[in-house]
């Protein structure tokens, strides 16, 4: 198995909470496409296996025209074997999704669409500086469905300061009735270099109450699971058979190659990162210098990553695998650390360790406790 990721670094404007790399203009789309073609031709030579998943993320890939997306698809096909492609996803913003555009996306080969609706409440969408209303978001999901997408994911954000539990329940009710197969529900995190971070520092936004955040997570899990979605990762819920193959492969250390500014890759136990701005990405391409950082993972790094990625999934991590792959000393380290963690936070059955809901709420802390 092998994954490809294409980072399209354009947005119409920056949402206040977002720290994904993107620029709020389209001026460089032509040099971006040319550089992407060069990068795939150059770096893609290292990939000798068929590609199983392809993911267009960003940024906002649906800011590109169908002709531009078609060009990227052509570059992909020129370099990679996609005859065994299982899943081909594009991230989309609701305002870009006309029926005709969705039909053409399907013709290009996309069989999954991830729509960033974020909320079904207008007040919250305005605060997040989203460009669409709740009705526009809902209509976009229906248009994608009616155009022929049978695998639709939506993004939601919780842990927001304006929202009561009652409002959150209303939003989940609306969301769960949409013709969707997957929900990614993310807790709002305040990252440096975001407008939200600066607003909080200036006390222009109230801080989110921790109890509210916890209540929202419990409600999310209970509500979504009653609606037939199963949780397979802390932030991800799917109808049976509709988990994201691409992201699930990340969490299982399946190799992937990312293209475009700020994209990451993981191959042969080495992580690399591309130039993290569009200007630098285009400039460096003249010297065929696309990746700017590279880190070979040691055995301990690989163990830490296995813990970090595995404990975010509901499947968890296998003690047997740790023993067999990393040796008895790391197995002993893990078991000793677990003795110091209250058992309300985890379950250990048949050598499979996973987090309870209480544990998921403090997952970062627990995962770091188990690191070597």
Q: Which of residues 51-70 bind ligand SF4 (CB under 6 A)?
A: 58-60
Query: What is the size of the binding site for ligand SF4 (CB under 6 A)?
Result: 11
Least Å distance between CB 186 and ligand SF4? 10
Closer of 130 and 245 to ligand SF4 (Cβ)? 130
Sheet of 317-318: strand order equals: 317-318, 352-355, 346-349
At 359, which helix (H) or strand (E)? Answer: helix 357-361
> Residue 18, interface with ligand SF4 (CB under 6 A)?
yes
Query: Considering the complex, what minimum distance in angstroms separates the CB of residue 289 from ligand SF4?
Result: 26
Least separation in angstroms between residue 137's CB and ligand SF4 is 12
Q: Whole-number minimum distance, CB 66 to ligand SF4, in Å?
A: 19
Helices (H), 44-186: 66-79, 99-108, 122-127, 134-147, 165-176
* Closer residue to ligand SF4 in complex, CB, 18/278: 18
Nearer to ligand SF4, 15 or 72 (CB): 15
First CA to last CA distance, the chain: 29
Q: Are residues 11 and 262 in contact, defined by beta-carbon separation less than 8 angstroms?
A: no
SS3 190: coil
Q: What are phi and psi of 290, to 5 degrees?
A: -90, -40
Distance CA 138, CA 94 (A): 8
Length of the chain as a residue count: 372
Best CA proximity match to 113, nearest among 85, 84, 87 = 87
Could you tell me the smallest distance in angstroms from the CB atom of residue 25 to ligand SF4?
12
Residue 14 lies near ligand SF4 (rule: CB under 6 A)? yes
Using Cβ positions, the residue closest to ligand SF4 within the complex turns out to be: 18
d(CA 295, CA 304): 14
Residues 6+ apart with CB under 8 A from 363: 234, 311, 312, 355
Q: Across the strands, what pairs with 233?
A: 236, 313
**Binder of ligand SF4 out of 22, 37, 121, 244 (CB under 6 A):** 22
Helix 165-176 with 210-226: angle, nearest 10 deg: 30
The minimum distance between CB 323 and ligand SF4, in angstroms, equals: 41
Name, in order, each residue with C-beta under 8 angstroms of 44's C-beta and a sequence gap of 6 or more: 79, 80, 257
Nearer to ligand SF4, 22 or 205 (CB): 22
Q: Tell me the closest approach of the beta carbon of residue 24 to ligand SF4, in angstroms.
A: 8
Nearer to ligand SF4, 59 or 261 (CB): 59
Which residue lies nearer to ligand SF4 by CB, 22 or 53? 22
Tokens 């987090």 label which residue? 355
Touching ligand SF4, residues 75-104 (CB under 6 A): 93
* H-helix or E-strand spanning residue 304: helix 299-312
20: contact with ligand SF4 by CB under 6 A: yes
At closest approach, how far in Å is the CB of 115 from ligand SF4?
11
Q: Which is nearer to ligand SF4, 51 or 263 (CB)?
A: 263
Q: Please, which residue, 94 or 316, has the CB nearer to ligand SF4?
A: 94
Residues 99-128 that bind ligand SF4 (CB under 6 A): 116
Please report whether residue 11 would count as binding ligand SF4 according to CB under 6 A. Answer: yes
Which stretch, 16-24, 66-74, 82-90, 178-186, contacts ligand SF4 (CB under 6 A)? 16-24
In Å, what is the CA distance from 238 to each residue of 33, 228, 265, 350? 33, 8, 26, 25
Is 15 a binding residue for ligand SF4 by CB under 6 A? The answer is yes
Interface with ligand SF4 (CB under 6 A): 11, 14-15, 18, 20, 22, 58-60, 93, 116
């Amino acid at each position: 198995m092998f994954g490809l990721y294409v980072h399209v670094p354009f947005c119409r404007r920056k949402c206040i909470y977002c720290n994904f790399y993107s620029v709020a203009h389209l001026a460089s789309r032509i040099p971006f496409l040319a550089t992407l073609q060069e990068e795939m031709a150059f770096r893609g030579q290292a990939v000798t296996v068929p590609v199983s998943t392809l993911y267009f993320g960003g940024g906002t890939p649906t800011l590109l025209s169908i002709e531009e997306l078609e060009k990227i698809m052509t570059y992909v096909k020129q370099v990679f074997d996609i005859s065994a492609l299982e899943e081909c996803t594009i991230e989309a913003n609701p305002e870009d999704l006309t029926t005709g555009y969705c039909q053409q996306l399907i013709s290009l080969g996309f069989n999954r669409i991830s729509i960033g609706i974020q909320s079904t409440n207008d007040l919250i969408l305005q605060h997040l500086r989203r460009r669409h209303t709740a009705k526009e978001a809902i209509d976009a999901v229906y248009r994608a469905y009616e155009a022929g997408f049978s695998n639709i994911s939506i993004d939601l954000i919780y842990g927001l300061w304006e929202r009561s539990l009652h409002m959150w329940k209303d939003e989940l009710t609306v969301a769960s009735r949409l013709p969707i197969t997957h929900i990614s529900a993310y807790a709002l995190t305040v990252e440096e270099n975001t407008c939200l971070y600066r607003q909080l520092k200036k006390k222009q936004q109230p801080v989110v109450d921790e109890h509210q955040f916890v209540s929202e997570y419990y409600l999310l899990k209970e509500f979504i699971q009653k609606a037939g979605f199963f949780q397979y990762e802390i932030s991800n819920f799917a109808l049976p058979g509709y988990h994201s193959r691409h992201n699930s492969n990340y969490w299982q250390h399946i190799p992937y190659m990312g293209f475009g500014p700020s994209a990451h890759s993981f191959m042969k136990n080495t992580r690399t990162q591309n130039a993290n701005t569009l200007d630098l990405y285009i400039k460096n391409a003249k010297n065929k210098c696309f990746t700017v950082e590279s880190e070979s993972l040691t055995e301990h790094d690989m163990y830490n990553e296995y813990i970090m990625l595995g404990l975010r999934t509901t499947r968890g991590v296998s003690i047997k695998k740790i023993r067999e792959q990393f040796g008895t000393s790391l197995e002993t380290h893990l078991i000793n650390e677990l003795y110091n963690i209250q058992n309300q936070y985890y379950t250990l059955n048949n050598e499979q360790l996973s987090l309870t809901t209480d544990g998921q709420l403090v997952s970062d802390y627990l995962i770091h406790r188990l690191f070597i």
